[in-house]
Structure 1
């Protein structure tokens, strides 16, 4: 599993392996969702209501994708998807407390971590990225459509990952130059 988004909300949007047709969905069944959450650094401690939470998690994932994907092309996201992310964020804020960490204050949710708190954290990540940016550094992989925040020095990142889509694309282009007349 690769986490290449450089923001929790983008990694969450990338829980399907490609778009528009996904061959793997990390939010399809509870066990995969738990594995993804652990790998993303947001382990779910109370798992009892995970099965019931998965449809809402998939809805939030798609809203986050539809918010950030147009931004990678300089377009505005659909209002309905912005409102969906805002609703989850507002619900999270109603349960959050301001706490100091690393010299600044931020919102934190009470333990134990549940599927619901994970969704709040995703929505908070989306709200933070939307309000603070840098939106000009958003990108989408041309091969799999994964979203990422380009943190490279020169700001010219093209693929989700050089080890997967980047190397495949380069190999495809190389092969095309060698086999064309």
Structure 2
């Protein structure tokens, strides 16, 4: 990713993707302008993970302790999750735009991370469905990457292209799944990009209607 890295305090309004993996991709903002990476360190990644509600507090505490004990290893683990994130962005964007062929390097990166996760997973039953599960004990600081890689595989298999979107808002470019009844959602969020676009349209109309001096 060509851009800058800046600290960011994650809030619920940053989780608009409709899927955990898409919310990871959206930890970079302004992809359509000058991208800004909000994951400025492994602790920030853990803050994001806690906010999503998809990871147990016990696992996140264990990861925090591992990161505190070896900051260098935590930094390397963060670099690896960034690589996965950028490959997923490229691949999901290609699928949304129905580009062909799929980007080979991005596909290879996701495959690499998925294989790494599966190698450390154990097969469990979730209801009546067998699923691979990873834990901190086997994955260490890569636990979040492995969990996200497994979930990414499931998302890519079942991605509904007619419901997957790229937000057209200025300095945005976030991805999201449109779960609205009519399937007409355009913006990642009406509270941010939607209202900003309405404000610009209103301003332009008023300006055009103003008498010329």
Q: Is the 8 A contact 2:28 2:35 kept in 1?
A: yes
Q: Of the two, which has the highest radius of gyration? A: 2
Classify 1:86/1:109 alpha carbon distance in 2 versus 1 (closer, same or farther; 3 Å). same
The structure showing larger relative contact order (alpha-carbon pairs under 8 Å, at least 6 residues apart) is 1
Classify 1:138/1:22 alpha carbon distance in 2 versus 1 (closer, same or farther; 3 Å). same
Classify 1:173/1:14 alpha carbon distance in 2 versus 1 (closer, same or farther; 3 Å). same
Q: Distance in 1 between matches of 2:150 and 2:180?
A: 24
Q: Is the 8 A contact 1:89 1:124 kept in 2?
A: yes
TM-score, length-scaled by structure 1: 0.90
Classify 1:102/1:177 alpha carbon distance in 2 versus 1 (closer, same or farther; 3 Å). farther
SS state at 1:33 partner: helix
Q: Is the 8 A contact 2:63 2:136 kept in 1?
A: no
Q: Please provide the CA RMSD for this pair.
A: 1.8
SS state at 2:48 partner: helix
Q: Distance in 1 between matches of 2:146 and 2:42?
A: 18
**Corresponding position of 1:39:** 51
Q: Is the 8 A contact 2:81 2:145 kept in 1?
A: yes
Please list every run of 5 or more consecutive structure 2 residues that lacks an aligned counterpart in the other structure: 1-10, 68-72
Cα deviations by residue, 1:13-67 (Å, 9 ceiling, x for unpaired): 10012214134x2322222212111112236332323222111111111111000
Q: Distance in 2 between matches of 1:102 and 1:158?
A: 35
Please list every run of 5 or more consecutive structure 1 residues that lacks an aligned counterpart in the other structure: none
Deviation of the 1:160 alpha carbon: 0.9
Q: Distance in 2 between matches of 1:110 and 1:60?
A: 19
